[in-house]
Amino acid sequence: MTNPLLHPSELPFGVPDFAAITLADIEEGLNLGMAQEREEWRAIAENPEPASVINTVVAVDAAGGVLGRAETVFYVLLSSVGGPELDALYEKFAPLFSAHSDDFWMNKSIYERYLEVSKLPDLDEETAWLVSDTVRAFERSGVALDEDGQTRLRELNGKIASIQAQVDAKITAQLDRTHTAGSDTTELAGLSEERIQSAVEKARETADGWRIPVMNYSQPPMIASLDDHVTRGRALHDSITRGFGGDPDLDTRPLIVELVGLRQKRAELLGFADHASLAMDDQTVPGPPEALDLLRTVGEAAIRNLDQERVAYEKLAQAEGFDLGPEDWVYFEDKARGDLLGMDADKLSEYFELDRVVKDGLFFAAERLYGLTFRPRPEIRGWTEDVETYEVFDENGLPRGLFMADWYTRPGKSGGAWMSEIQAGCARTGNLPIITNDANFEKPEAGRPTLLTWDSVETCFHEFGHALHGLLTQTYYESTAGTEVPNDFVELPSQLNEMWAYHPEVLANYARHYQTGEGLPDHVVEKLSKSKYFGQAFSTLEYVQAALIDHYWHRNESDLPEAVEDVETFEKTALAAGGGAHDLVVPRYRTPYFAHTFAGGYDAAYYSYMWAEAMVGELEEWFEEQSLTNEDGRPDGGFNRQAGRLLQDQLLSRGNSRDPLASFVAVRGRKPEGAAVTRRRGLQ
């Protein structure tokens, strides 16, 4: 019992004792946890008593305590800390996790018990929905296959899990080992002195000059400020060619080609036309045709707007002596935004200090809308010294859970930003939620502030929207709590929360100069609040392009490449087929570094951000309709507790305790319309 993972933590709220947990503890916890849960499942399956809610549904929900603790710690460390040892452990356990999952979903006895429960009278709404949802999941996971079919499915699932783990490790390694470098800092003209100094410091680890690492997505943020067209081109080229074979150790294409083939075989074995049809079977979207139709419609609207905007940028490029290319668009767009606001990006970032954005932005909006308050708990330690911990209270002053934030990048950490759930909050256990947010902001030298770009501010609000979904949950079962909803619904709360970054009152509260404390000038606040449509054509199309690549990789009708050399041609074919090809836009993610779809659980589901956005657009309009008159006599745009309470009660607290679309309709009063996306993005 010296292993902290073999029993519930005695720390506040049940936070894992990260400082005491070793790699050996995690491995033991995973192995023992899987063995214990299999025994719990066996007892449920062989129970001679008639199936009931207690001996079947509750028993399944309560199973796997040790495994749950071990898996949670493992995945937090794998994504937030990383490193060769954790990567190796993931590659070892990925097929074992797959086999363990199969042991449940192919268990005909437990499936039949759920069928019995589904016929019981007077089931409450949450239990009835959970049971019906679980029955569908059993059927989608191969419970009806014969013995040979299940054996083949287990083999496919194991291989798929193993390859995904290998892809994940290589994509993380790409972030650590791919960079743009130079010998002369004059190439970095346009960047702030702080950013240039940071680039020089990174180079000193191996050589003189400067070095800037790639980000997880295609467009390097630095090219928005770099004055030199050639350096911008090098930076974009370095970013979008990673994983294409330049460094064989980082080439993910052979794995991805094999992975896609295995996914297709699995779909056919389960009776689906292709992997996209299988992946969307439990989503809110009707199916692949509807997802593709939305992408095409929005992509075409983005291209129309983009081609109108390109005329001005082409003139600017010609005036500087070069033809406009994809490496130049965000540079000229950033200049145009600076002209619009009367302030360039670096100057603007001086008003977005991370601590203020969190406390005076995220927390301020959450208190106004949902009655939540946040108190620092520095004595509750996280997985690194950078983790900040806050206790969360509801409007009555009662504890609501914990929020833990890990904002800074480090070698080995996964790219991007995300939310995780260390502990689900639910009535059955009495546990309160422990929710995390991760990002990859550059950590400044001691004593210097962390200044954010506007995109990074939006990222904070986005991920905190996921956190609110987890913190506000009020369900009976763990398996229906918080973000346990379809992929194309889980992005609704996160994208919706972005709207408060732009709200004039919220913006004025957190946008203060890091040195003087002076607020962002009123005219800039007003312009920034109204600038949400700015640059939407470009950002929309780079997203649509990535979603199309994901979509066509998983459609049986696609002419999938058999050789790695054909991957680039396949991408071009997919963009053309989906109506998203454009000479000035590069997909937000290209195949070799598309972690969402080949390692991150969004396979054939990257469309989901935009499908959820239709609901987001509707709810933003709904908030406007809930507007009250504020203290100075102006409408507040729905920034009030009255609107927040309704959204909280009918949607954010419900998790997957009922059909998620029913939760949306309970707020909006109707089903969402796809046109809300183009309205939200100003692309009509």
Helix, strand, coil percentages (3-state) for the chain, rounded to 5, are 60, 5, 35
Q: What is the CATH number of the domain that holds 610?
A: 1.10.1370.10
CB neighbours of residue 315 within 10 Å: 11
Q: Which token pair is 32?
A: 């023992």
Share of the chain above pLDDT 90, in %: 91
Please check whether residues 153 and 222 belong to one and the same domain: no
Please check whether residues 600 and 612 belong to one and the same domain: yes
Q: What is the pLDDT of residues 193-205, one digit of tens each?
A: 888 998 998 888 7
Model confidence band, residue 1 (pLDDT cutoffs 50, 70, 90): low
Q: Return d(Cα 47, Cα 55) in angstroms, integer.
A: 8
Domain contains 470: yes
Q: Return d(Cα 59, Cα 40) in angstroms, integer.
A: 8
Please check whether residues 472 and 419 belong to one and the same domain: yes
Q: What is the CATH number of the domain that holds 162?
A: 1.10.1370.40
Domain contains 505: yes
Does residue 107 surpass a pLDDT of 80? yes
Domain contains 445: yes
Mean pLDDT value of segment 491-509 = 96
Please check whether residues 446 and 560 belong to one and the same domain: no
Please check whether residues 437 and 357 belong to one and the same domain: yes
pLDDT at 260: 97
Does residue 440 surpass a pLDDT of 90? yes
Model confidence band, residue 55 (pLDDT cutoffs 50, 70, 90): very high
Q: What is the pLDDT of residues 592-637, one digit of tens each?
A: 999 999 998 999 999 999 999 999 999 999 999 999 988 888 899 9
Residue 121: partners with Cβ closer than 8 Å, 6 or more residues away: none
Q: Checking phi first, is residue 316 left (phi over 0); if not, alpha (psi -120 to 50) or beta? A: alpha
Please check whether residues 451 and 515 belong to one and the same domain: yes
Please check whether residues 580 and 636 belong to one and the same domain: yes
Please check whether residues 508 and 389 belong to one and the same domain: yes
Which range of residues forms the domain containing residue 452? 349-533
Which residues are catalytic, by number? 463
Domain contains 551: yes
Please check whether residues 364 and 507 belong to one and the same domain: yes
Of the residues 533, 554, 574, which one is the last residue of a structural domain?
533
Of the residues 533, 550, 567, which one is the last residue of a structural domain?
533
Does residue 559 surpass a pLDDT of 90? no
Of the residues 518, 533, 548, which one is the last residue of a structural domain?
533
Please check whether residues 47 and 158 belong to one and the same domain: yes
Cα torsion 475, 481, 484, 489 to 10°: value is: 60
Does residue 456 surpass a pLDDT of 70? yes
Residue type for 73, please? V
Mean pLDDT value of segment 65-73 = 98
Q: Record the pTM.
A: 0.94
pLDDT at 537: 96
Please check whether residues 167 and 188 belong to one and the same domain: no
Total domain count for the chain? 4
Does residue 108 surpass a pLDDT of 80? yes
Mean pLDDT value of segment 132-142 = 97
Q: What is the pLDDT of residues 610-620, one digit of tens each?
A: 999 999 999 99
